[in-house]
A and B are shown apart, each in its own frame.
Chain A
Amino acid sequence: MHGGATHFPFALLMVSVAFDHAGFWWRSEPRRRELHAVGFYSLLLAAAASPFAVLSGLALSKGTIMGTGALRLHHLFIWPAFSLLIGLAVWRLVVREHASSRASGYYLVLATIAAAAMMGAGYWGGEMIIGK
Chain B
Amino acid sequence: MKLSLTLKGIILGSFAGLAAIGIAFAAGEMFQAKPATAPRAEEALVIPPAGTPANQGYKLFMNNCAHCHGADATGDEGPDLHGVTKSDARIADMIKHGVKGEMPRFDRKLSDADVQALIAFIHSLQDSNTHLSQPVSACLQ
| A residues with CB within 8 A of B | 51, 54-55, 58-65, 67-71, 79, 82-84, 86-95, 98-100, 103, 128-132
Contact = CB atoms under 8 A, between A and B. Distances in A.
Q: SS class of chain A's interface: helix, strand, loop or mixed?
A: helix
**8 closest A-B pairs by CB:** A131-B104, A87-B17, A63-B31, A91-B13, A63-B32, A71-B67, A94-B9, A69-B63
Nearest to B76: A62
Contacts, number: 119
Contact of A69 (B6, B8, B67): B67
A131 B102 CA distance: 12
Contacts of B30: 63
Best-buried of A60, A70, A82, A92 by chain B (most CB within 10 Å): A70
Given A62-B31, A83-B20, A131-B98, A88 B67 contact: no
Nearest to B31: A63
Contacts of B29: 63
A130 B64 CA distance: 11
Interface in B48-107: 62-68, 71, 76-77, 98, 103-107
Contacts of B28: 58, 63-65
Contacts of A92: 9
Nearest to B22: A83
B1 interface: no
